Amino acid sequence: MRKVRVISYGVGAVGSMIAKFLLEKEDIDIVGAVDVDKNKVNKDLGEVLGLEKKLAVKVSDDLGAVLSKADADIAVHATSSYLRDTYPQIASIVEHGVNVVSTCEELSYPCTSEPEFAKKLDALAKKHDVTVLGTGINPGFLMDTLVIALTAACQKIEKIEAVRVMNAATRRVPFQKKIGAGLTVEEFQQKIEKKQITGHVGLEQSIAMIAGALAWKLDEIVIEHAEPVVAEKPVEGKDIKVKAGQAAGLRQKAKGIMKGKEVIVLDFQAYIGAEDEYDAITIKGVPNIKQKIQPCVHGDIGTVAMVVNSIPKVINAPPGLLTMKDLPVPSAAVENMAKYIST
């Protein structure tokens, strides 16, 4: 049986972790690597990943050249959170007849927030007979797909709440930076205001995905301002020290409103030093459902798993832009990846 041929597109913090996990899979070949970071371009992927061996794959900033040469089945893409930035990258992959799994948050459910890009990408993917999926741990699983799966046991649903509380100390450095850890409260507010840090991206997509699965027509999705969580004592993350009184991270809420009522509420809290970490989902309905995962699922490990475990499902899926709610029930693909693939 032939191996699954994968391109690593974006070998930053998450892309590198994905590539390392792919290397553990005997039936996957990394056949190309793409990044624009000058410190990585033209280097062997093994060196970029900090491995002691070379992998005979050079990191290139020329996506077209890599795609033309690689004869890949799929690209795993991890560069940016916003579809307006990633659209040209993903469209190029698709035009070369290669499937895509991306960590781009807005791609996880783009038909509400970016309907034009979503329509164009869906048509392009169908034209080239490939599948595109945006996924990750959140958005992609904990505050949407998992919620949707739990609703399957309900006859009626009045309200859904999902809360994620995580200690960001063990997360990758770019994550700690984007949640504002180590900034003064003033700097935090300025940087969020000027969009110099993104905060968490994806609450809007998660709410829209849940509503889409339940065929709920929401009046609106309200995304509240990200608020700093202020450290009461000094705390430390990877390369980031937070003094008492500084932002240790953030809290952000979002609400889906239907007929004037809050029917979906998401509460995301990520800060260095969080002591009580959990992922909780509460469904008020018939029956009521309460689910708590404690401690919370590790975001980086979970994202890598979500992306890699999606590979066989995406390769086998019908063409087009799909979301997690369109694919078969998510699962690990722990054994021999190639045996899941019918092509």
The residue range among 33-41, 157-165, 254-262, 308-316 that interacts with ligand NAP, by the rule CB under 6 A, is 33-41
Query: Is residue 92 part of the contact set for ligand NAP (CB under 6 A)?
Result: no
Contact 188, 284 (CB under 8 A): no
What is the β-pairing status of strands 59-60 and 28-34? Answer: parallel
Q: Pick the closer one to ligand NAP by CB: 13 or 148.
A: 13
Q: Pick the closer one to ligand NAP by CB: 157 or 165.
A: 165
Q: Pick the closer one to ligand NAP by CB: 64 or 287.
A: 64
For the chain, report the end-to-end CA distance as a whole number of angstroms. 10
Per rule CB under 6 A, count of chain residues that contact ligand NAP: 24
Using CB under 6 A, which of 136, 180, 228, 273 touches ligand NAP? 136
Nearest to 30 by CA among 55, 62, 65: 55
Nearest to 171 by CA among 108, 229, 239, 243: 239
Nearest to 170 by CA among 239, 219, 112: 239
Nearest to 106 by CA among 129, 125, 89: 89
Minimum distance of ligand NAP from residue 34's CB (angstroms): 5
The residue range among 65-73, 125-133, 135-143, 211-219 that interacts with ligand NAP, by the rule CB under 6 A, is 135-143
Query: Is residue 106 part of the contact set for ligand NAP (CB under 6 A)?
Result: no
- Residues in 247-306 that interact with ligand NAP by CB under 6 A: 303
Using CB under 6 A, which of 2, 26, 37, 286 touches ligand NAP? 37
Can you tell me which residue has the tokens 């003094």? 243
Query: Is residue 180 part of the contact set for ligand NAP (CB under 6 A)?
Result: no
Q: Strand (E) positions, 118-212?
A: 131-134, 156-167
Q: Pick the closer one to ligand NAP by CB: 174 or 287.
A: 174
Query: Around Cβ 233, how many Cβ atoms within 10 Å?
Result: 10
Minimum distance of ligand NAP from residue 40's CB (angstroms): 6
Q: Tell me the sheet residues that pair with 34.
A: 9, 60
Q: 3-state class of 271 per DSSP?
A: strand
Using CB under 6 A, which of 8, 80, 252, 323 touches ligand NAP? 80
DSSP 108: G
Contact 280, 174 (CB under 8 A): no
Rg (CA), the chain: 20
Fill in the amino acid letter for 336: N
Query: Is residue 89 part of the contact set for ligand NAP (CB under 6 A)?
Result: yes
The residue range among 22-30, 130-138, 234-242, 278-286 that interacts with ligand NAP, by the rule CB under 6 A, is 130-138
Using CB under 6 A, which of 6, 59, 87, 140 touches ligand NAP? 140
Structural tokens at position 243: 């003094």
Using CB under 6 A, which of 4, 7, 15, 250 touches ligand NAP? 15
Query: Is residue 81 part of the contact set for ligand NAP (CB under 6 A)?
Result: yes
Query: Is residue 67 part of the contact set for ligand NAP (CB under 6 A)?
Result: no
Residue nearest to ligand NAP (CB): 12
Class of residue 2 by CB neighbours under 10 A (exposed 0-12, middle 13-18, buried 19+): exposed
Residues that bind ligand NAP (CB under 6 A): 10, 12-15, 34-37, 78-81, 89, 103, 105, 136-140, 172, 174, 303
